[in-house]
Structure formats: C-alpha cells, structure tokens
Amino acid sequence: MQFYSCVVCLLLAALSSAEQTDLTSNLSEDASAVQLKEIQQQLVQLNNKLNTLSTQIANLLDTKNDQSCDRKTAITDCGEASGKESGIFPLRICTEPTFNVYCNQSFEGGGWMVIYNRIDGRNGIFNQTWESYKHGFGEPNGEHFIGLDRLHAITYGSSYEIAFLLTVDGEEQFGIYDHFEVDNEWENYPIRRIGSARGSMRLFRDNNELHRFQTYDRNNLHPLARDAMFKQECAFWFVDMPHMYSISFEEFCANLRRLKIMIRRRPNAI
C-alpha cells in the first residue's frame, strides 16, 4: 500500500514535473514565438528601409548621371582628351564652372592645352589691361589668352611643361620647357620655376631670374619699355627692369605677335 502510494506519489511528481517542463517549454516556446515575431517585424522594417535607401541611391545616381550628361566631355586636362581629335573641350578647375579650351592632340604626342594664341599680330585683341589678362580674353578657336588666374589654378603645385611656338618668316620654331608653374596675383603671377629647354627656340634664358607678369598698366619696367608694350600690344612675363631698357625688349614684344603657347600635364603628375 505504501509502495503504491509511493508510486502514485512518484507518478504525480513525474506528472507535475512533466507539466512544469511542459509549461516552461510552452513558456519559452511562447517567448521564442514572440521573439521570432519581433525579429520578423524588424526584418520587414529593415527590408523597407533598404528599399527606401536603394531607391534614394538610384535617384542620386540618376541625377549624377544627368549632371555628367550635361558636361559629358568636361576634362581637367587635355591629356584626358587624348586619343580624341584636336578641338575645343570644356575644362573644369576646382569648383569653378567649366570653360572652353583648345586641345592640340597632334603636336609632340598630343595632350596640349593652348593657353595663348596670336595669329595675325596687331588687332587690338592683346592690348589689354591687367584685369583682362587676369581673367583671360578671346575665343579658344581663335586669338585668345586663357587668363592668369586659371594658369595659376592649373599649374601651381602641379607638374606642367610648356611649349612656346613662334612663327618666324612663315616657319614655326619651338622651345619646350619641362616645368612651368605660375604663382598667385599677390606676387604678380610670376613664373615660379621654368625647367630646362629643348627645341630650337628660347624665350627665357636658362637661369633662375624671376619673371613676373607685366602689363602696360601694371609693371615694374622702364618708361621706354612701357611705351614699347603699348605700341606692340604686349604683356608678358618679364624680369623687372625699372632702370634700363634695350631695343631687344621691343623686338621681344614684337615677336609675341606671332606666338602660340601650350601647356601639358606631365605623366605621373597629380
């Protein structure tokens, strides 16, 4: 009897413990179910967020594509237009709006940007003030100057070479300097460094004299030199010479009337 009661006791204990485990397991099942539901809800929310984000990204990419469509051919250097024909390309420096430059892809391997071009001498186009030379003038498919501000922005701290092409008696002669860098307006846009030259023509002596930009209305030159600049419509990088003047200065000025200048970013430059 005692044995049976004991068995009943055990059974009850087993049952109750079974019930308990059942309960707890039901409890934890419920908890997992709740958690699962929560997780599912979170997943749905995340999924929605992802969808929204990818829509936003797609929209952004679309507008960006639109922008690059507007400026399809915008370049930062004529080297980027290599392989293409010579011609006019919109150039972008920093955050400024683009402006057109002429890229010459046939001279010495191409990649040259024309920064100064004079063809038929005296016509008043180059008879300009400091302010004009600062901002540039003319059209890239004709006679023009790119402007000192842009030259500074393009070349300063970068690695550019420069080609001077002078037409003498219908023959074109050239001199290429392997470094060209223009400093800021505060310093009068001096050529900070001109490299060593190759080619048949020299515009600068191979030394470290500082050539600052000089116009008829802003210069540090002898009065006779100033007159010559006026007469020859010239403005250029000259060594300061307030105390002396030579006839070769006027000859130099006169030569600028048939000059073309191009710059090219050197390979492996930034």
Ligand X SMILES: *[C@@H]1O[C@H](CO)[C@@H](O)[C@H](O)[C@H]1NC(C)=O
**Residues 88-117, interacting with ligand X (CB under 6 A):** 104, 106-107
Contacts with ligand X, 4-23, as mask; x by CB under 6 A: --------------------
CB 117, CB 260: distance < 8 Å? yes
Using DSSP bridges, classify how beta strands 259-265 and 160-168 pair: parallel, antiparallel or unpaired: antiparallel
Tokens of 234: 């010239």
86 makes contact with ligand X (CB under 6 A): yes
Whichever of 127 and 159 has its CB closer to ligand X, that residue is: 127
197 makes contact with ligand X (CB under 6 A): no
Buried b (16+ CB within 10 A) or exposed e, 150-159: bbbbbbeebb
Count of residues that bind ligand X according to CB under 6 A? 12
Measure the CA–CA gap between 50 and 13, rounded to whole angstroms.
53
Q: Which residue has the tokens 């100057």?
A: 145
Q: Helices marked H in the chain — which ranges?
A: 2-70, 130-135, 148-155, 223-232, 247-255
Smallest separation (angstroms) from ligand X to the CB of 86: 3
Max CA distance (Å), the chain:
141
Whichever of 66 and 85 has its CB closer to ligand X, that residue is: 85
Measure the CA–CA gap between 265 and 269, rounded to whole angstroms.
7
Smallest separation (angstroms) from ligand X to the CB of 219: 14
Whichever of 124 and 157 has its CB closer to ligand X, that residue is: 124
133 makes contact with ligand X (CB under 6 A): no
**Residues 24-83, interacting with ligand X (CB under 6 A):** 26
225 makes contact with ligand X (CB under 6 A): no
**Residues 239-258, interacting with ligand X (CB under 6 A):** none
127 makes contact with ligand X (CB under 6 A): yes
Measure the CA–CA gap between 116 and 12, rounded to whole angstroms.
106
Task: Provide φ and ψ at 214, rounded to 5°.
Answer: -135, 135
Query: Given candidates 77, 143, 233, 250, which one binds ligand X under the rule CB under 6 A?
Result: 233
Query: Given candidates 2, 69, 94, 124, which one binds ligand X under the rule CB under 6 A?
Result: 124
CB burial class (10 A; 0-12, 13-18, 19+) of residue 37?
A: exposed
176 makes contact with ligand X (CB under 6 A): no
Whichever of 149 and 233 has its CB closer to ligand X, that residue is: 233
260 makes contact with ligand X (CB under 6 A): yes
Chain positions contacting ligand X, by CB under 6 A: 26, 86, 104, 106-107, 124, 127, 165, 172, 230, 233, 260
